[in-house]
Structures are given as structure tokens and as C-alpha cells.
Structure 1
Amino acid sequence: MFMKIRFIIPWAMLSFLVFAKDPLIKLQTQGEISFVSGGVGGDERDAMHAIRSDYNLNLLFSEAGSGEYLSDIKVCIKDAGGNNLLETIADGPMFYTKLKPGRYTVSVDLDGNTIDKTVNVGNQQSVSHSFTWPKQQGN
């Protein structure tokens, strides 16, 4: 009996690792920049809120009037010299990234409607910016 338990426990642990659910939010990197995006649905939104303090730039995308969250937003971040540091598509309405302290231009685009903001990222506190687009025709 004891021999069976010794074999069952490692098998059970291995099975857990093999069948464990993928994390809701996946860390991504581009060059030296790490970022996450998501927030579609309650579980994903909760997961994003739980890691928010780990990132020093937090972006939120929504529609004017309704406040409806938006996803599939093109995100481009440039340094003060105009060099592209990051170009990606946000998987959800929340986008968090870690940047070195400094001044950046954040450009976000929804169907050709681009919004640019200059952001200052410091050493201590995170910076949050909301981007809101007018209601899309046909929505």
C-alpha cells in the first residue's frame, strides 16, 4: 500500500502541472518592455486589477457616452527622442506596461482614429491614462 501511494502522489502532481489552466493574463515582452493586456470578462478584469501595481503605466480604453470597454486597440509607445519602443495590439480594455522613468508619447488607434498623449513615468508611483473614442457608427 505504501508503495502505491509513493507512485500515485508524484503522478497526481505531474497531472496537475500538465492539465493546469493557462493563466488568464499572459506577460509579453517587446525589446526591453514588458506588458500585459486584457480585462475582457469578470475573471480577466479581476486578474488585471490584481497585478496593476506591478506596472508603472496603466491604460484604459473605452467608448464615450456608454463607457463600454474597447479592445483590439493599436498601442505605440515612443521615447522622448521619438524612437519606437513598443508597437502592439491590446487584447482588452486594460493595458499595463513597465517603463524606465522618463517622458513618453503614447499613441493609441481604433479603426484609424488615433489619440496621442504625452506621459511622464516616474520612479515611485504608477501613472494611469484613459483613452475614450466617440461611439462608432453602426454600434
Structure 2
Amino acid sequence: MRIPAFHLALAVLLSALSAGASAASPLLAPGAHRSGGIGEEDQERMRLSQNLYNLRLTFAEAGTGAYLTGVDVFIEPLGRGRAFGPYKDCGPLLHVALAPGAYRVRATYRGIARTVDVRIAKGTSASTLYWPILPD
């Protein structure tokens, strides 16, 4: 599938505006997020807008690395501050704009929770959370 020219131009513009951003994008409020990545077209859209976000999460099966969807995510600061979420039915990629600081990410897939602590400073923090292969 081809990305419509308007969507591609908008994504490129947003990516260019945010290139080099070191903290949460000045264009987005903390907690702003985007989830997706199903199919090549959606992965390209996520890639083109990724510079707007400084936390990039990927959800996958342990062993196979197969992408997972349907993940619920809650993000809370390790110190003072506002929590974000819950973000429902995310995946396989979730990008979030956050203010600098330390956060605990709790992601739940089919009743199994995974937790990871992340530090947001200059640049981007990225993490992949894995779940065991579960029968359907």
C-alpha cells in the first residue's frame, strides 16, 4: 500500500520540525502518544513521526520476536509528577512524549504484566517488552 501524498508530506514536515529535539517535543504536551505499526504503511507513519516522542516502546513475543498488539500501558513517574495512561490496546509500537525524569512503565498483555524503568533525558529512550508465547 502507498501512503497518501498528504499524509506523507505531513509526516515529513512534523519529523523535520522535531529533528534534534532532546526532551519532550515542544509541539506535543507530555503524555501525548501514538500507537501503531501494523503493516508496512503504518510502520512508515510511525517512523516518520517518531522524532516527536522521546519514549519508544515495542511489544513482542519472547523467542520469536513477533510483534504484539492489544497491550495496555500505564506510565508513572518514579518521583513526583503526573502519571500517564492508561493507554489501551497499544502495539506493536507505542511512542510517548514525556518531560525529562525517571518513569516506571507497566504494560499488560493478556493478563501478564511487564514493568520497565526508563529515564528520559536528552535524546530518546527505547525499550522492548517481551511476553511468553501464549496459546490463543
Q: TM-score range by the shorter chain?
A: 0.7 to 0.9
Match of 1:104? Answer: 103
Match of 1:63? Answer: 61
Q: Which deviates more from structure 2 when the two are superposed, residues 106-115 or residues 62-71?
A: 62-71
2:115 pairs with 1:116: yes
Rounded Cα–Cα distance in structure 2 between residues aligned with 1:101 and 1:112: 30
5+ residue gaps, structure 1, are 1-19, 25-30
Residue by residue, what CA displacement relative to the aligned partner does 1:66-105 show, whole Å, maximum 9, x if unpaired? 2110011000000124753221114430000000000100
* Aligned-residue RMSD, C-alpha: 2.3
Counterpart of 2:91 in 1: which secondary structure?
coil
The 8 Å contact of residues 76 and 106 in structure 1, kept in 2 or not, is answered as yes
Larger relative contact order (CA 8 Å, sep ≥ 6): 2
Match of 2:17? Answer: none
Deviation at 1:21, TM superposition (A): 9.7
- Counterpart of 1:41, as a letter, is G
Counterpart of 1:43 in 2: which secondary structure?
helix
Cα distance, 1:69–1:22 mapped onto 2, change above 3 Å: farther
Match of 2:76? Answer: 78
Deviation at 1:40, TM superposition (A): 0.5
Q: TM-score, normalised by structure 2?
A: 0.74
5+ residue gaps, structure 2, are 9-28
Match of 1:40? Answer: 38
The 8 Å contact of residues 38 and 90 in structure 1, kept in 2 or not, is answered as no
Q: TM-score, normalised by structure 1?
A: 0.72
Q: Kindly tell me the number of residue pairs found equivalent between the two proteins.
A: 112
Rounded Cα–Cα distance in structure 2 between residues aligned with 1:102 and 1:84: 12
